[in-house]
Amino acid sequence: MVPLTHYLALGAILFLIGAAGVLMRRNAIMILLSIELMLNSVNITFVGFARQWADLTGQVFAIFVIAVAACEAAVGLAILISLNRDRQMMNVDEINLLKW
Amino acid sequence: MELAFFYLFAAGIVGASLLMVTRANVIHAALLLVLAFLFMAGLFVLAGAEFLAGVQILIYAGGIMVLYLFSIMLMNVGVAVRLRQWHRQSVLALAAAVLLGAEVWAVLGRGGYPGAKAWGWGLGQTPGNVEALGEVLYTKFLFPFEVASILLLAAMIGAIVLAKREITR
Amino acid sequence: MTIPFPQIHWAYLLPVLLVVGGAVFVLMWDAFFPQRERSFLVTLTLAVLASALGASLAAQPGSEAASMGGMYLYDGFTRFVFALILLSSFFSVLLSAAQRSLEEVPAGDYLGLILFATSGMMLMAATRSLLMVFVGLEIFSLALYVLAGFLRGQPEGNEAALKYFLLGSFASGFLLYGMALIFGATGSVDLMEIAQRLTTSPPSRSPAFLLGLGFVVVGLGFKVAAAPFYMWTPDVYEGSPTAVTAFMSVGPKVAAFAAFFRLLLAVGPRAGAELDAILWVMAVLTMTAGNVSAIWQSNIKRMLAYSSIAHAGYILVALAAVRRGSDLATGSFLFYMLVYALMNMGAFCVVVAAGARGEERTRIEDYAGLGYTRPALAAAMALFMVSLAGIPPTGGFVAKFYLFSAAVKVGFVWLPVIAVLNSVVSVSYYLRLVVLMYMREPGEAPARPGLLGPGWSYALAALVLAAAGVLNFGIFPSSFFELALRSTLLLN
């Protein structure tokens, strides 16, 4: 059996990669994709803990995370498309009408 | 054997996601993320979450990522590839992320977890993972399950509202 | 395998059902009868919110058996918080109907999203399951992301939506990772079970649990705009339609703080002194950053945004006191939120009412001489500013008094002192506006922009309601404070 720490380490690494992507990239779609990565790292952590505790709560939580990720993707992409039609731009630091 | 597969999947996930966050072309990035999700589905099977593995492929890789790809094609991203990809403060951000990672690493490594308990829902056993998951989802977690429909409805309305004004204009 | 049909206690669910049903009905009505008058839908939404408020006040707090395994708690705390959330959405619907620039938007979609956001806030506040906290938070967040960018042809609104969305989802990631670690350390996502396992099992304060708690604090801190996660607030508040800004400055804060309180009431006493220090620092940073930044603002919506950050800092003082197990702090939090909702909504209502079609009065200079051109509006604004600054005889003073004395009673010394000093600083920018309205001649702006058009009755209703409330809680606070104190009985 795979030890719990392996799942946790993998989850932490992915969370880190996702967070770094959010903080470092300019392209808004890349930021969205990095956020998806963060949500998936959470799912790995949940599944690992569900295995450890023999408790399906972790898996149920992961299903809800996926549902929320779908909703966030839909709304986020709609906002992006609407912004893209108006201003033809993709990068977050060009979004400067309001002080960032 | 299990451990070998774990390392295979983990290497695939980490590799694909590292490539993903560094791509200039968002379509390549999205496809690499699909690859990472497929490896993740394999990982979920190893961890005894067969239903989640299926959902990961059907909903995440098949639904959400296709939505991303369609949206990317609606937007004009050809120009974005040739632009600067990283923030000016990205070194600072990287330092912050590494610091955060080091902290998580240090804390999670200190242990304090329970010993592994017997898992009653392995592959090929009865009741299997899907059946057991369905039972808790419709008993203990019935209320959040129903509330999730409000979430989906609100998100759907919101996305339509934002998209609709493009059509009516 | 048989799945039993769950026992449903309709009386407790009724407020949420009314709001969700109202949202669907408003959407459907607008889809099938689009030519009908907008005022009908506004009246309908207001009626839905009022009946939900009535239903929640009528339902006596329930028992553990009726809580669906902790997923939906209907206790005194829930009842008071429901009243707060419904009140704030009631006000924001009034403000939306009064705002001229929102006249063109499709009313059904807009009001439906407001009602969906309201239901999410209610569900988030009325649970002890981390899963429900997360789902409720996402419902209202998604609705608010869309509402922030609701005005077409306004790039600022789109930008506000994108910023709010990106940073909000980022914060959700932190919140979720924290919840995963808490689940891993305790094996449960139910706050009562978590509290029990923390006392019984040997690794009572495992490092993973504390780290998870820290991540959850980051996620919730973002939603309540606490330092250092408040950077998005002024931009999003400035870019969103004013009525939506008013909603954002009260509703999500009530819901997120309610979840925060339930978390700290359950695990706080066992989480130890680390959390004390974190909350202390967060409270001081939040109120100081909010107050100091507010002094330099030239846009009134940004000023009110920083002011709302400062008020979140004061409420964090109550949170720190709650961690030390003070019921008084919970009661004074509820009372503070009630007064804060009224005075903040009132201030935003003046901003809406002072604007004309096309251009809003968002610069602070625009308010010069308002005391001569529109005396009633200026008097209301002065009242809300005085109350926000915490000067007697307004509700803001009494609320702050209760809040800080609760902190003193549990042994905090410097925290209330810093909070009081901060209130003194805040007087400068609140009263600057009052001085500007009365001591300066009106600028070249049109002296009388005329009444508000069809929406003026809504604005008038909101102003009268808010002003009466602020004065009433300032002069006769005790009965409502008693009510707030009685509402601190929790099901766990």
> pLDDT tens digits for C63-81?
776 777 788 888 889 999 9
DSSP result, C126-152: S-SBHHHHHHHHHHHHHHHHHHHT-ST
Query: Which of A31, A51, A52, A97 to probe by mutation at the C interface, max C CB count within 10 Å?
Result: A97
Whether B27 and B69 have beta carbons less than 8 Å apart is answered as yes
Residue C124 has pLDDT above 90, yes or no: yes
Mean pLDDT of the region C423-432 = 91
- Residue written as token pair 């609320």: C399
* A100 domain residue, yes or no: no
- The boundaries of the domain holding residue A47 are 4-90
ipTM surpasses 0.95: no
Report helix, strand or coil for C297.
Answer: coil
> Hey, what are C398's tokens?
């009494």
C477: left (phi over 0), alpha (psi -120 to 50) or beta: alpha
Gap between the Cα atoms of C384 and C439, Å rounded: 18
- Under DSSP, the state recorded for C4 is P
Pick the residue from chain B with its C-alpha nearest to C116.
B154
- Residue written as token pair 């977050």: A92
Gap between the Cα atoms of C132 and C70, Å rounded: 10
- Residue written as token pair 């001649």: C441
Lowest mean pLDDT among B59-68, C259-268, C382-391, C438-447: C438-447
Supply the pLDDT for residue C336: 93
Whether C411 and C324 have beta carbons less than 8 Å apart is answered as yes
| pTM for the predicted model, two decimal places | 0.92
Whether C209 and C164 have beta carbons less than 8 Å apart is answered as no
CA B38 to chain centre: 10
Gap between the Cα atoms of C105 and C240, Å rounded: 14
* A98 domain residue, yes or no: no
Residue C194 has pLDDT above 90, yes or no: no
Residue C450 has pLDDT above 70, yes or no: no
- Residue written as token pair 């950053």: C289
* A99 domain residue, yes or no: no
Gap between the Cα atoms of C473 and C434, Å rounded: 21
Query: Which of A26, A27, A81 to probe by mutation at the B interface, max B CB count within 10 Å?
Result: A27
C244 part of contact set with chain B, CB < 8 Å? no
Chain segment B15-25, per-residue pLDDT in tens: 999 999 888 88
All residues at 6 or more sequence positions from C66 whose CB lies less than 8 Å from its CB, including other chains: C7, C9, C12, C74
pLDDT < 70 positions in chain A: 86-100
Show me where the domains of chain C are located.
10-486
Gap between the Cα atoms of A75 and A95, Å rounded: 18
Q: Please name which of A64, A57, B99 lies closest in space to residue C139, comparing C-alpha atoms.
A: A64
Helix axes C327-354, C456-475, angle to 10 degrees: 150
Angle at C291 (CA atoms; ends C287, C295), nearest 5 degrees: 170
CATH of the domain at A75: 1.10.287.3510
Could you say which residues from 19 to 48 on chain B have a Cβ atom under 8 Å away from some Cβ of chain A? 20-21, 23, 26, 29-30, 33, 36-37, 40, 43-44, 46-48
C162 part of contact set with chain A, CB < 8 Å? yes
Backbone angles phi, psi at A56, to 5 degrees: -75, -5
Residue C345 has pLDDT above 80, yes or no: yes
Q: Please name which of C146, C292, C286, C174 lies closest in space to residue C226, comparing C-alpha atoms.
A: C286
Gap between the Cα atoms of C417 and C285, Å rounded: 14
Helix axes C414-439, C273-295, angle to 10 degrees: 20
How many domains in chain A? 1
Whether C102 and C110 have beta carbons less than 8 Å apart is answered as yes
Pick the residue from chain B with its C-alpha nearest to C109.
B161
Residue C447 banded pLDDT, cuts 50, 70, 90: very low
* A55 domain residue, yes or no: yes
* Structural element, H or E, at residue C93: helix C76-98
Mean pLDDT of the region C253-271 = 87
C202 part of contact set with chain B, CB < 8 Å? no
* A96 domain residue, yes or no: no
